[in-house]
Amino acid sequence: MASVVTTPEPRLRTPTQSPPLADGHGTGNGGARARDGDGGGPHGSNSAAAVERYKLGVKVGSGGIVMVFAAFTSALVVRSGLGGDWKAFDLPAVLWLSTAVLLLSSISIEKAKRAMRDGLEVGLQRWLNVTAILGAVFLVTQLVGWQQLTDRGIYVATNPSSSFFYVLTAGHGLHLFGGLLALTYVVFRVWRATPWPTKEAAIEGAALYWHFMDGLWVYLFVLLLVWR
């Protein structure tokens, strides 16, 4: 009986070790990275430093976004208690689908990170692509929700409650679209086999921002359910 030969999944490529210098002082990968600042595998010290820089940038940017939506939240709570012109309306049912899709995208980007840490190139590419597709589906379902509201005659200026709905969902959608562009950039870097540590830093930074966008949407969805 003929045997079946299977081909293992290709591993993420990392730079090879550098030879010792002529004066007998070895450099290895650490020396090469110290010279050019762009080499190293996914677990090198230079890679860890790059990841922390990217994450810090994401955290600073996310802090600004939190402040913006905190201001929107305060305005919504105050405005809903003023006068009797605040009229509640049923949220589009498709928003439940939006929420499920975005939560699934958080799972897929975690699977991408796991594939990266395991050195599985095909798995990394696959799960990053899945995350990007789910992000695009989320934005489409948001547009469908807007269309469902307009079909019911609910527009931005219809009522203060509808105004806040459109502002909050549009604000989140724009920020998530920015995250989708960043994720597309990461997919391109993986496809081009960009050297470590910048590739790992880009993936970790994009994943952190993506989880932040998911958490922000869950918060906004609950807020809209309560205060719509």
Residue 186 falls inside a structural domain: yes
For residue 6, is it within any domain? Answer: no
Question: Is residue 108 one of the residues assigned to a domain?
Answer: yes
Q: Write out the DSSP string of the chain.
A: -PPPPPPPPPBPP-PPPPPPPTTS---HHHHHHHHHSS---TTSHHHHHHHHHHHHHHHHHHHHHHHHHHHHHHHHHHHHTSSS-----PPPTHHHHHHHHHHHHHHHHHHHHHHHHTTBHHHHHHHHHHHHHHHHHHHHHHHHHHHHHHHTT--TTT-HHHHHHHHHHHHHHHHHHHHHHHHHHHHHHHHTTPPTTHHHHHHHHHHHHHHHHHHHHHHHHHHHHHH-
- How many domains are contained in the chain? 1
What pLDDT, on a 0 to 100 scale, did the predictor assign at position 42? 45
> How much is the average pLDDT of 141-145?
97
Residues in contact with 101: Cβ distance below 8 Å, sequence separation at least 6, in sequence order: 134, 137, 138, 141
Q: How far apart are CA 42 and CA 167, in angstroms?
A: 40
- Higher pLDDT: 49 or 130? It is 130
pLDDT-derived band at 37, boundaries 50, 70, 90 = very low
Residue percentage of the chain with pLDDT more than 90: 61
pLDDT of residue 153 exceeding 80: yes
> How much is the pLDDT for 31?
37
Average pLDDT, integer, range 93-101 = 97
pLDDT score of 69 more than 60:
yes
pLDDT at 27: 39
Domain span holding position 200: 47-227
Residue 36 covered by a domain: no
13, part of any domain: no
CATH number, domain of 52, equals 1.20.120.80
Q: Is residue 77 part of a domain?
A: yes
Mean pLDDT of 153-164: 94
168-211 tens-digit pLDDT: 999 999 999 999 999 998 988 888 776 766 788 889 999 999 99
Supply the mean pLDDT for the chain: 83
Whether 7 is in a domain gets the answer no
Q: Is residue 132 part of a domain?
A: yes
Torsion of CA 156, 158, 162, 168, to 10 degrees: 20
